Amino acid sequence: MAFLVEGCTALVTGANQGIGLGFVEVLLARGASKVYATARRAETLPGLAALDPERVVALALDVTDDGQRQAVAAAATDVTLLINNAGIPGSDIDAERRMLAASSLADARLVMETDCWAPLEMCRLLAPVIKANGGGAICNIISIGALFCVPEVSSYSVAKAALAMATAGIRAELDRDPVLVAGVFTAGVKTRMSAKNADPQCTPAEHAEQVLAALEAGEEDIYSGEGAAALRDELARDPKAFERRLIERFYTDPLTLS
């Protein structure tokens, strides 16, 4: 089912920088009627509203805060497109992002809360709103790292894989409604999160253009950013060889986070 961006009312989480900000800018450029640009840090809200005072409504939203989630859903009753973008890669301390080396699973639980349960809660709050408005789309920004374990950030892969599965469940439950449910398997976008990654990267605006074009084409599984489709294809050709390559990288030249 195709989704028309022009004239839509969108809600973007984590809109103050990176991929989320790219979505806000491109939604406005493509003729969205209104964009609820949400961010957890209050000091970033005036800058978001200033992007287009007529069409941007900037709202405080820490996606892990249930009270704020409820308040945003109560305010944004005209939403037709939900973009669940906010996410974290996990601790700055390498060991804390791993399954056995971590001092506890506290950081993994925070990643799970932020990257899986929070977007799922947003879907639960906004799906009825989108349906009441005649239909629209839910767009969950997952990661290509949901399809395989990235050992340097295995808690992130766990959370994103769970979000991918939750997205499929939501799609099934909305199958008889006019709501496109898209999972975005992103890779290679130049942001704070990927600042130390030397691989080729596109800009957040280029990524947003790709994703919104895919929504307009009715795509449910979107491989956007630099290298996402190539990684998907390499994995499909030989999953064990792919896993072995990532394990060898983990021991010889591990990824570093900012």
Ligand X SMILES: NC(=O)c1ccc[n+]([C@@H]2O[C@H](COP(=O)([O-])OP(=O)(O)OC[C@H]3O[C@@H](n4cnc5c(N)ncnc54)[C@H](OP(=O)(O)O)[C@@H]3O)[C@@H](O)[C@H]2O)c1
CB of residue 237 to ligand X, shortest distance in Å: 21
Using the rule CB under 6 A, which residue among 86, 138, 161, 181 binds ligand X? 86
Q: Can you tell me the distance from the alpha carbon of 95 to that of 187, in angstroms, rounded to the nearest whole number? A: 23
Q: Residue 31 in contact with residue 7, Cβ under 8 Å?
A: yes
Using the rule CB under 6 A, which residue among 7, 41, 103, 128 binds ligand X? 41
Rounded to 10°, the helix 154-173/118-132 angle is 20
Residue 140 makes contact with ligand X by CB under 6 A: no
Residue type at 236? A
Binding mask 44-83 for ligand X (x = CB under 6 A): -----------------xxxx-------------------
Binding mask 112-131 for ligand X (x = CB under 6 A): --x-----------------
Residue 111 makes contact with ligand X by CB under 6 A: no
Residue 20 makes contact with ligand X by CB under 6 A: yes
Contacts of 231 (CB under 8 A, 6+ apart): 144, 147, 187
According to DSSP, the residues that pair with 92 across neighbouring strands are none
Q: Can you tell me the distance from the alpha carbon of 109 to that of 233, in angstroms, rounded to the nearest whole number? A: 30
**Site residues for ligand X per CB under 6 A:** 13-14, 16-20, 40-41, 61-64, 85-88, 114, 141, 143, 186-189, 191-194, 225
